[in-house]
Chains A and B, each alone.
Chain A
Amino acid sequence: EIVLTQSPATLSLSPGERATLSCRASQSVSSYLAWYQQKPGQAPRLLIYDASNRATGIPARFSGSGSGTDFTLTISSLEPEDFAVYYCQQRSNWLPDTFGQGTKLEIK
C-alpha cells in the first residue's frame, strides 16, 4: 500500500494569505494524485485531479503541482470559505486507492 503523508497537520492563516499544503507519497504515483476539500458535515469535494488539473467549477486561486512523490496544493489568496480540511488521494495499478490523513486549514 502506498502511504500519503500530508503536512502540516494544521495550518493557521488569515484571509488573503497564501496557503501551501504538502502531500508526500511513500513511492512514486506519477501524476495520479487528487486533492479534496471537506467542510464539517459535508461530503468531500474534488478540487484537483492528475496533480494539476482543476475540477469543474473550482476557482483559479486553487492550484496543484508536483509529480512522483512530492505534491503541493496552493491557495493563492484565502477566502473565508476556504477554511476546511484538505485531503490528497492517489491511485496506483493493482493497489488500493489511499488518502492522506488530512490538513486542517484554520483561521488565525
Chain B
Amino acid sequence: QVQLVESGGGLVKPGGSLRLSCAASGFTFSDYYMSWIRQAPGKGLEWVSYISSSSSYTNYADSVKGRFTISRDNAKNSLYLQMNSLRAEDTAVYYCARKMISADAFDIWGQGTMVTVSS
C-alpha cells in the first residue's frame, strides 16, 4: 500500500545536527513533490520545506532557511532532511508528506519522527 515511513529522529544538543529520512513505497516516488512538515508539542502544523520531483526546485520556511537542507534519491525512493545548527525551537514531530499531482494538498503523510533539541 501507499506508505511513507520516517526515521532518524532523536535527542540532540543545541547546535547539533540530525538527518531525517523518509522511505516511500506503493507509488512512483519520482512523480511527486515532497515536503517536510513539523508539529511542536501541543502546537499546530508548520510547513518546513519542499522539493520538486526531480530535485530542481526547493523551498524553505524562513525559520529553517540556511540551516536545513532537503534532498531526495529517486532511485532509493527516499526523502531526506539534513538539519544543522539545531535550536530548542526545532523540537517537534517531523512528518514527510506527499503533495498531490493534481492539487496543492498533502494526501499521504508518514507517522512522524520526534526530534528533541535539549542540553
Contact = CB atoms under 8 A, between A and B. Distances in A.
Nearest to A53: B103
Nearest to B65: A96
B105 A99 contact: no
Interface string A76-108: 000000000001010100001111111000000
Interface centre among B45, B59, B109, B111 (most CB of A within 10 A): B45
Nearest to B49: A96
Nearest to A48: B105
Nearest to B35: A97
Interface in B33-60: 35, 44-47, 50, 59-60
Contact of A43 (B35, B44, B50, B112): B112
8 contacts: A38-B45, A43-B111, A44-B106, A49-B104, A89-B45, A91-B104, A96-B60, A97-B47
Interface of A: 1, 32, 34, 36, 38, 43-46, 49-50, 53, 55-56, 87, 89, 91, 96-102
Interface of B: 35, 44-47, 50, 59-62, 95, 100, 103-107, 109-112
